[in-house]
Structure 1
């Protein structure tokens, strides 16, 4: 920050804690100086609010500073132009005046543009306010006629059903010659208006969309809520409100169907002077989308820029205005000041270009950055399941045989080449009894596809839009088969079944895969989206694109379940994001190991200038040390050594010991207890054992037991019931116990404050499966780069997950909770040092159960007396 720069005054909703002021000040100066930042602020210290206030304060101040500097420069130039010069060289003097005049015009234009932006935003606010008033009147007026509208809608739907029964032609499924397609494959029909966008933006990214919604809530709490333009970006999969499109589930198929619905329904041709056809315009295979309307989308865009909305609000508003939220959010992007986007949408250059994100001179803030490396790895991986390969191979061969006479020779050749490549990939699965790891070069040679240029094949599939056509083909013939089965009591073999019979006699290398297809396709009739040939082809194309890159850091893992391309060093793909941005901030509750993030931000550079650009900021927890009790439990109630290794943890001895620990804990801990277990399968094994031994029944006398659901849709309901049970206290009943899973739906982003989480228990150390071929290759790769680094990486994967669980409790300054780590390995010095600092301050290591239960009882007795 400049020496003469005054320390900013942050507009916080309440008097901030010292650590919050420190966080905002450091964030402000890091952005101002164009540095890179690693910010650690323990969960529950108001990190999200501090990010919003610090970053928005800088944004508003930088704008005021820009206007001030431009005005000053204009005044200086005007003075220089008006002042007379005594210079002898009049020609040089005139030249200098012309240059100054040109610069003056540029500055005045810049100032005028800023002024017009302010006027436009005020105009928007007034227009949206009037629109809301009119909308309410219209809704009231149309309520009386809603029954008629409903009836009319039902009639239309019935007509559509009748229309669907009409015989359909297959011409819409044919791939066209790629010369008729856009050469760049661009979405030329989109209504996105590309405008020059030179205003500074702040991109805030988090792991999930629900966490981004929390940022929306925090921005609304700030003093900037009335004059800040915020937009949340997401894919069509999240924003599509057309049920005919969203039901496709697969994001690629949704994208293709959406673009299809934008195209003209009529086929037109252009002719030359000689009357010959020069160009044919392709025919859309579906009706236009009713929500793809320029006028309505523009109205929704205005609502986005005036009202700060999360994804759910935006979808509701889109349905109300009958406008597409996806295109409205993209239209609003150029005028937005704050852009909220998931890690997945920001870390991939392809995803950034797809939604027109411009990072040049803008600020990027990654919250929940502990998951950033994983997001990078996922964005650049390419998994393909065996059943996807089988489905694509089956339908592609059927497709080629059915349309052979209608296909051009070039298209037929390319389709056969794709079929050949997929056949070779299937052959690789058949010989892979155990997981094998290949470099890219070794894989293409082993698969016998090294002689093929894969890039033109991938481009052909994209330009001809083969995937959605193959998807439509597979869905159409599945449906026909079902209809025939319903009509006939004795099912005759259809052409599809005969085809399956014929291809089952082909090459030996494909026999096993093709046998699997028969059962797979039977299931596909009931759940076509699960094994869709179209979505499977997208997965195959993504793998082929990775093979084209021939990266030295890439590996292909092969087993009987499928193929998986893994990128071992994703840092190189993060470097362009850092280079383009003014400032990049990574923030989280626990940022250890800091070295990992320093390497990510600097791309492993040892250059002094680059490393000095990184500002590391650590904030203490707002909770005093006496409000947290950390215990590393080494032995259980029966003096059994608590070592939950993968081989040992399911023994009846250890399972019974966990039961005894839980029975004692629920008796002395008031309110809610959240117990994290290593996996869903282990949670099931433990629950069944405790049920058999009568422990569940005994616990229920003290606390109601809840279990983490496997379906995300059930999480809210379970949490509400858990919260209700915690509040309902009686003489005998003192709260609830929630059995959760490390890395599951309840281990991140949730708030178990106050009575909801008086005790967090972590049973065992959740190490990833060391037998995983991908993990072993990653560890070996890191060890080759840095001797011993692979083992540290493996240890850190475990402790990151543990620290996320610990962070669910103790959410504000007056909160208090106990953290019980049940495994003797937690007492190791290297493990203790990896725990959050606020837990380390009060940590008791190598504790027997007797010592632990005494400390816990005293801890809660002391806090009960304070109340």
Structure 2
């Protein structure tokens, strides 16, 4: 396997690279050395993913070696770095050939982590397969949503992603998910810690060991592969649609829950018992329903053009509209907490079988 010297970094590549691949890897390493953002482009079929992986992992190895040498240099009390082999290493480190350009300013105190983000699940699997063709064997943690990684049959069978989230949180909190409960005892299992695993591999191992995959997101180098859709994704992540049907659903869902809650409270009062398993009362549900009705009225009062072209308002208008329903920066957290309690209750109780939560979930996401 050829070893290339690119900007002072030894890069192991599976085969003799094309000239464009060497240039691409040089630019990747330059971005890492100079601690800057980079937008890199290369024609289809030129091995961009492989270049990204090899260049970044080679830089990481070199960077860690630089850190270790600097640590030895700072703790050198016997003058090892002033003569012989130690001096050569020290000079090579500080003459601009080190992975970080030779300066110890802003050096990280821990090994840098690399977060590799792909646009689709299949692209991520392809990246893992290409990494297996290299000599690099970093510890890998695959990040994915519950839709890809959850192996709890009851949770994963839900059609709505929000329902999956609430059900998952409830089961984990009540220690009713055996997969999550087995997490700690399996963290050091060689099947999970050795080798390169993609999402399918993780799901299979999770099912085999009845274990969830614990992931803590923290890192220093972020790579977006196939990044031409990033702008669109950013726009979509801070945008939402809220239709008249959604608002009507919120009113209907709250009304049905309120009706059932009043029945329970009436029975409790009649028999002097407390069989309620919820941490909200009918008065709060009345207030929530009133909020939705006021918001519906405020939206109905908006004058729309007769030709149906719609209207455009400044971004701040949304706060004015919500403010008519008494939803402000000072009060919205109370409404959000109540929505969280209601959705969690309906998702994890028999009552939820008869009352949908799609409208309430969508409104909760909008407030967040």
Name the TM-score class by shorter chain: 0.7 to 0.9
Change (3 A) 1:400 1:295: closer
Question: In the alignment, which residue of structure 2 is the partner of 1:470?
Answer: 346
Question: In the alignment, which residue of structure 2 is the partner of 1:293?
Answer: 181
Separation of aligned partners in 2, 1:387 and 1:473: 25
Number of aligned residue pairs: 315
Question: In the alignment, which residue of structure 2 is the partner of 1:381?
Answer: 239
8 Å contact from structure 1 (residues 24, 54) kept in 2: yes
8 Å contact from structure 2 (residues 28, 52) kept in 1: yes
Question: In the alignment, which residue of structure 1 is the partner of 2:218?
Answer: 358
Greater RCO (Cα-Cα under 8 Å, separation 6 or more): 1
Change (3 A) 1:6 1:470: closer
- Runs (4 or more) in structure 1 with deviation over 6 Å come to 407-410
Question: In the alignment, which residue of structure 2 is the partner of 1:253?
Answer: 163
Question: In the alignment, which residue of structure 1 is the partner of 2:121?
Answer: 209
- Answering whether residue 360 of structure 2 is matched by residue 540 of structure 1, we say no
- Answering whether residue 339 of structure 2 is matched by residue 456 of structure 1, we say no
Q: Deviations over 1:540-588 (max 9, x none)?
A: 122233xxxxxxxxxxxxxxxxxxxxxxxxxxxxxxxxxxxxxxxxxxx
8 Å contact from structure 1 (residues 232, 329) kept in 2: no
- Equivalent runs, 1:632-711 vs 2, <5 Å: none
Separation of aligned partners in 1, 2:38 and 2:254: 50
Gaps of 5+ in 2: 1-5, 81-108, 266-275
Larger Rg: 1
**Secondary structure, counterpart of 1:203 in structure 2:** strand
Separation of aligned partners in 2, 1:468 and 1:307: 38
Separation of aligned partners in 1, 2:78 and 2:286: 71
Question: In the alignment, which residue of structure 2 is the partner of 1:506?
Answer: none
8 Å contact from structure 2 (residues 31, 38) kept in 1: yes
Separation of aligned partners in 2, 1:212 and 1:264: 33
CA positional deviation for 1:245: 0.9
Question: In the alignment, which residue of structure 2 is the partner of 1:437?
Answer: 312
Change (3 A) 1:425 1:33: same
**Secondary structure, counterpart of 2:66 in structure 1:** helix
8 Å contact from structure 1 (residues 382, 542) kept in 2: no
**Secondary structure, counterpart of 1:40 in structure 2:** coil
- Equivalent runs, 1:81-96 vs 2, <5 Å: none
Separation of aligned partners in 1, 2:39 and 2:313: 35
- Equivalent runs, 1:395-544 vs 2, <5 Å: 395-404=253-262, 406=265, 411-427=281-297, 428=299, 434-445=309-320, 449=324, 451-453=326-328, 454-461=331-338, 465-471=341-347, 472=349, 475-477=352-354, 533-544=356-367
Counterpart among 107, 118, 133 of residue 221 in structure 1: 133
CA positional deviation for 1:444: 5.0
Change (3 A) 1:414 1:456: farther
Separation of aligned partners in 1, 2:309 and 2:295: 16
Question: In the alignment, which residue of structure 2 is the partner of 1:198?
Answer: 110
8 Å contact from structure 1 (residues 400, 415) kept in 2: yes
Give the alignment's TM-score, normalised by structure 2.
0.75
Q: Deviations over 1:797-839 (max 9, x none)?
A: xxxxxxxxxxxxxxxxxxxxxxxxxxxxxxxxxxxxxxxxxxx
Gaps of 5+ in 1: 81-196, 266-287, 334-356, 479-532, 546-867
- Answering whether residue 189 of structure 2 is matched by residue 304 of structure 1, we say no
Question: In the alignment, which residue of structure 2 is the partner of 1:34?
Answer: 35
8 Å contact from structure 1 (residues 395, 474) kept in 2: no
CA positional deviation for 1:538: 1.9
Question: In the alignment, which residue of structure 2 is the partner of 1:61?
Answer: 62
Question: In the alignment, which residue of structure 1 is the partner of 2:148?
Answer: 238
Question: In the alignment, which residue of structure 2 is the partner of 1:632?
Answer: none
**Secondary structure, counterpart of 2:180 in structure 1:** coil
- Equivalent runs, 1:318-357 vs 2, <5 Å: 318-324=206-212, 328-330=213-215, 333=216, 357=217
CA positional deviation for 1:224: 0.5
CA positional deviation for 1:425: 4.0
Question: In the alignment, which residue of structure 2 is the partner of 1:370?
Answer: 228
CA positional deviation for 1:79: 5.5
Change (3 A) 1:443 1:12: closer
CA positional deviation for 1:254: 1.4
**Secondary structure, counterpart of 1:256 in structure 2:** helix
CA positional deviation for 1:396: 0.7
CA positional deviation for 1:250: 2.2
8 Å contact from structure 1 (residues 301, 329) kept in 2: no
CA positional deviation for 1:441: 4.4
- Answering whether residue 201 of structure 2 is matched by residue 313 of structure 1, we say yes
Q: Deviations over 1:746-776 (max 9, x none)?
A: xxxxxxxxxxxxxxxxxxxxxxxxxxxxxxx
CA positional deviation for 1:315: 0.5
The structure whose residues are more often strand, as a share, is 1
8 Å contact from structure 2 (residues 336, 364) kept in 1: no
8 Å contact from structure 1 (residues 233, 329) kept in 2: no
Separation of aligned partners in 1, 2:335 and 2:78: 59
- Answering whether residue 22 of structure 2 is matched by residue 21 of structure 1, we say yes
Separation of aligned partners in 1, 2:257 and 2:321: 28
CA positional deviation for 1:20: 0.3
**Secondary structure, counterpart of 2:15 in structure 1:** coil
Change (3 A) 1:19 1:251: same
CA positional deviation for 1:416: 2.5
